[in-house]
Amino acid sequence: MPVDPDAPVRISAFNWVPPFAQGRVRDLRPRWALEEAGIPYAVRKLDVMAERPADYFHEQPFGQVPSYHDEAVSLFESGAIVLHIGRDCEALLPAEPAARARSTAWLIAALNSVEPFLMQLATIDIFAAGEEWAKLRRPGVIEMIDKRLSRLSDALGEKPYLDGERFTAGDLMMTTVLRMLDGKGLLERYPNLVAYKARCEARPAFQAALAAQMADFEERQTARM
């Protein structure tokens, strides 16, 4: 369990989020990468309901989580943080340049070709639930998502991971993105994607990262009682 308040690596996270977001906040991504790499980390906890502290925008220009820093660099964007952690960790990024580039392609595909449509569905189902535009728009977004899942399913085929036999940072990112579909009944049309996601989520590093994010919320929930 590498959460350590004295660690030189520090990420930011929320001290609590509503139930729909628990286990799904994006600090899960660097937590998972750090667990794969065996690197201990501290957590700067922010209050999701409050204004961000003014200094936080120097860490994360958009005020979101996670931010990241270590002895060498301050970073934001979960994708860039995972690539940075993976730089010296072959469990995340293969050393061979072509394999490393392909892993990066899958990581960015998750962030730019899949997640934007899932973010739209989250907006429709959670933040704009009940609004007229959301009701009218939902079928079109579902169709876009299904098209992307269909292509992703074809690309995965019978392989265990997106680039073949080895788990990489691309799979880490794609798994955290596909988890946004939990409970939607959309991924289930593609059994190979369901099995793929379960395969990635079964990794001890993922389980440890998830437990660490949830533990932070429970701490706050207990404190509230």
**Applying CB under 8 A, which residues contact a copy of itself?**
57, 61-64, 72-77, 79-81, 83-84, 87, 97-98, 101-102, 104-105, 107-109, 111-113, 115-116, 119-120, 128, 131-134, 136-137, 140, 148, 151-152, 154-155
Query: What is the residue whose two structure tokens read 């990262």?
Result: 209
d(CA 14, CA 96): 36
Closer of 83 and 209 to a copy of itself (Cβ) = 83
Closer of 173 and 200 to a copy of itself (Cβ) = 173
Q: Compute the least distance from the CB of residue 218 to a copy of itself, in Å.
A: 29
Measured in degrees and rounded to the nearest 5, phi and psi for residue 12 equal -110, 155
Closer of 154 and 188 to a copy of itself (Cβ) = 154
Q: Compute the least distance from the CB of residue 47 to a copy of itself, in Å.
A: 19
Q: Compute the least distance from the CB of residue 79 to a copy of itself, in Å.
A: 4
Q: Which residues pair with 46 in a beta bridge?
A: 14
d(CA 168, CA 26): 18
Closer of 123 and 220 to a copy of itself (Cβ) = 123
d(CA 126, CA 115): 16
Rg of the chain in Å (alpha carbons):
18
Residue 36 CB neighbour total at 10 angstroms: 25
Q: Compute the least distance from the CB of residue 201 to a copy of itself, in Å.
A: 22
Q: Compute the least distance from the CB of residue 153 to a copy of itself, in Å.
A: 10
Structure tokens at 196: 């793929």
Closer of 81 and 210 to a copy of itself (Cβ) = 81
CA quadruple 197, 202, 204, 205: dihedral, nearest 10: 10
Question: Helical H runs in 71-184?
Answer: 78-86, 97-109, 115-122, 132-156, 169-178
Closer of 43 and 134 to a copy of itself (Cβ) = 134
d(CA 174, CA 116): 12
Q: Compute the least distance from the CB of residue 17 to a copy of itself, in Å.
A: 19
